[in-house]
Chain A
Amino acid sequence: MAAEMSHLERASAALANEEVDRLTIYPIACGVCRKLIGDGNITYRQWVNDPKLFAQAFIEGQKYFDLDFAIGLMDLSVMAGDLGAGVRMDEQNTPFVDKHIVNGPEDYEKFEVPDIKKGRSAVLLEGTKIFADALNDQVITAGFIEGPLLALSQSAGAERMFMDIFTNPSAVHKALEIMTDYDAQMVEGFAKTGVKGLCWDYLWGNYACLGDAEYHEFEADKYASKLNKMTVDNGMAMCIHNCADLPHLDTQIKEFKPSIYSMAYYPLISDSPSASQVIEKGYADHCLVAGQVDPQVFIRSSAEDVAKITTNLCQEVKTALCKRNLKSSYCIASGCEIPPDINCKLENIKSMVDTAKVEGRM
């Protein structure tokens, strides 16, 4: 067993699939960490509109949970909101889009890249800079951003966008070009924050939603490939988060070649790949795959159960890595964001981390 490593040493080693003292750990605890700020009563609305508060959550989260990464997910309606969609912000719930801005095919051509120095794009960038400054000497930091197809579906409404893919593909492409320009400006903005990586949410690469042909045409080939390259050219590690049930692993891991790929597992959905299957099929050969504790357990289970679940996952992962002659390319993570609900139990997150520190030893 390697001597105890610092977070940075361990995470860097895992990114290169080199020997580690233990597996890396990252419960995707973002919005939930607002409860660690001050008296614990700030609202979601405050959290997503104030860069200092946004950053503070990650800084406090790191103190409290002691993680190997810090990834600055706000929510998935930042871009749509700045493009003009209506975003509902409840006191204690993740903001979501409640008014789309595409009412007919002609509206796809009306999109314009907003000023990223304003609105929540600016809050996200400023907040990311604050936590990157505070945490860069401890952990690997990353920004979080919506991919073009997600930003468009959030603005247009997913169902409408999907039907228009079928009936008005050229209009959809025009809008995707604008989303890509917007994303490109955000990439440059994130590069200036000093984060070490940038995590793309490419959730429509999901066989429950799109096939290979559609995903290639409407995200992978023209848009994501450009943005992925730009991320790397701007000095950040390119990471992907896709919590879908049937992710396009060949495209998103083998073709896109991310440094980190974060994914979920749905035992009740046949064909949803488990951690060991993902490793067995070679997806962790050149990529640090992160997953797949079910986010539900942080609300519904006890801390003891979370410890058992984490132990089992660590065993499963270690066995699979060993069989494939891999050293460390799997991060014990939650499959998606830990529900930031008020009923979410911080002790369960702690239980996952503390268990993985022991059971993840190599």
Chain B
Amino acid sequence: MGEYGLHYGGKYMSSREELLDKLANAVVSGKVDMAKEGAQEVLAAGNSVLTALDAINEGLVKGMSIVGDKYAAYQVYLPQVLMSAHTMYGGLDILLPAIPKSEVENRKKCLIAVVEGDVHDIGKNIVKTMITASGFDVNDLGKDVPVQKIVETAEADQTNVVAMSTLMTPTMDGMKATIDGLIESGYRSKCKVIIGGAPTSPSFAETIGADYRGANAQDAASYLKEVL
């Protein structure tokens, strides 16, 4: 029992710090049941102890950033990162519905997709995780997504960001076609477009009219936090 623990009528309640630690540790160690349990405890403890939003940002997300940094430093690898992401989503599923409506409306929206013809989606999923961890509401359209679907969903969602991934050269043209589609639909000026994946480059981003090309998930998240 931690030193911050409180007792109410003999029942032990975790303190804010304990709850945050539990969430962060669950994510770092990839224990989805622990994250879900921690999230339930946050709701049970109530806003006076810890709000759902703080539990996300200072607990789950903190854990995910630790894992992201370790991955970038080759201290952990995909199996751990994917389990941590899965764990973070497990906690988010419980905590997100508890965020007050006004705050939900303030959350920025991001659409993410792997462009048509390409099934490489591991990198995209890691980017999605880090953007989610930065407080964005991410709509994941998956892999092999046709241009038209990205363009239409961007407008329908009133998204703030369109993030596109491809690892293959032949499919890079899909990124340009999407941006052209966004220009045509009039939505381009209302969103940031970011791209990534090994064959893309900052100069390619410039050529096709994207706002940014990120080398990895961390870069994507920091860029979006900075500009939005």
Q: Is the CB of B170 within 8 A of A159?
A: no
* Contact flags B7-34 to A (C-beta < 8 A → 1, else 0): 0000000000000000000000010000
CB-contacts of B147-195 with A (<8 A): 168-170
CA distance A98 to B117 in the complex (A): 11
Of A180-188, A205-213, A219-227, A303-311, the stretch lying at the interface with chain B is A205-213
Pair B83/A167 contact, Cβ less than 8 Å: yes
Please report which residues of chain A, range 158-175, place their CB below 8 angstroms from some CB of chain B when the two chains form the complex. Answer: 158-159, 162-163, 165-167
With A209-B78, A299-B170 known to touch, is A268 a contact of B119 (CB < 8 Å)?
no
**Given known A-B contacts A159-B125, A296-B199, A96 and B82 have beta carbons under 8 A apart:** no
Total chain B interface residues with beta-carbon distance under 8 A: 23
Knowing A96-B119, A207-B74, A266-B198 are in contact, say whether A295-B80 is a contact too (CB < 8 A): no
Please state if A166 and B170 are interface contacts (CB–CB under 8 Å).
Answer: no
Residue contact B169 to A159, C-beta cutoff 8 Å: no
Cβ of B169 and Cβ of A296 under 8 Å apart?
yes
Contact A162 B199, beta carbon cutoff 8 Å? no
A343 to B119, CA, bound (A): 19
Contact A210 B83 (CB under 8 A): no
Which residues does chain B contribute within 8 Å of A194, judged by CB atoms? Answer: none
- Interchain CB contact (< 8 A) of B198 among A93, A97, A98, A268: A268
Bitwise, B58-92 to A at CB < 8 A (1) or not (0) is 00000000000000001011111011001000000
Give the chain A neighbours of B30 by CB distance below 8 A: 166
Distance in angstroms from B119 CB to nearest chain A CB is: 5
Contact call B79/A300, Cβ cutoff below 8 A: no
Cβ-defined contact, A166 with B80, below 8 A: yes
Chain A residues near B199: list those with CB within 8 A. Answer: 296
* Complexed CA–CA distance, A208 and B198 (Å): 12
Q: Check if B122 is an interface residue, CB within 8 A of chain A.
A: yes
Asked if A354 lies at the interface with its beta carbon under 8 angstroms from chain B, I say no
Residues of chain B with a CB closer than 8 A to A344's CB: 170
Chain A residues with a Cβ closer than 8 Å to the other chain, count? 29
Question: Quick one: closest B residue to A207, CB to CB?
Answer: B74
Q: Is B37 among interface residues, defined by CB-CB distance under 8 A? A: no
A210 and B77: CB pair below 8 A? yes
B201 close to A341 (CB less than 8 A): no
**A96 to B144, alpha carbons, bound, how many Å?**
11
Give the chain A neighbours of B144 by CB distance below 8 A: 98
Report the nearest B residue to A298, measured CB to CB: B169
A269 — which chain B residues lie within 8 A by C-beta?
198, 215
Tell whether B54 is near chain A: CB-to-CB under 8 Å.
no
Which B residue sits closest to A218, measured CB to CB?
B79
Q: What separation, in Å, do the CA atoms of A341 and B144 have in the docked complex?
A: 16
Contact B122–A158 (Cβ < 8 Å):
yes
User: Separation in Å of the A60 CB from the closest CB of chain B?
Assistant: 22
The CA of A93 and the CA of B169, in the complex, are separated in Å by 12
**Residue pair A339, B170 in contact (C-beta under 8 Å):** yes
Question: CA–CA, A96 to B116, complex, Å?
Answer: 13
Docked CA distance A237–B79 (Å): 32
Please report the C-alpha to C-alpha distance between residue A210 and residue B199 in the assembled complex, in whole angstroms.
21
B73 to chain A, nearest CB (A): 11
CA distance A162 to B215 in the complex (A): 22
Q: Which of A124-169 contact B (CB under 8 A)?
A: 158-159, 162-163, 165-167
Chain A residues with CB below 8 A from B77, complex form: 207, 209-211, 214
| B74: min CB distance to chain A, Å | 6
Q: Contact between A162 and B74 (Cβ–Cβ < 8 Å)?
A: no
A166 engages B83 (CB within 8 Å): yes
Chain A residues positioned under 8 Å from B201 (CB to CB) = 268
Residues on the A chain within 8 Å of B119, using CB? 96-98
Task: State the B residues within 8 Å of A (CB).
Answer: 30, 74, 76-80, 82-83, 86, 117, 119, 121-122, 125, 144, 168-170, 198-199, 201, 215
Write 7 A-B pairs (CB below 8 A) sorted by A numbering. Answer: A97-B119, A98-B119, A162-B82, A208-B78, A295-B169, A296-B169, A341-B170
Chain A to chain B: the 9 pairs with minimum beta-carbon distance, closest first: A341-B170, A296-B169, A166-B79, A162-B79, A211-B77, A165-B79, A209-B78, A166-B83, A162-B78
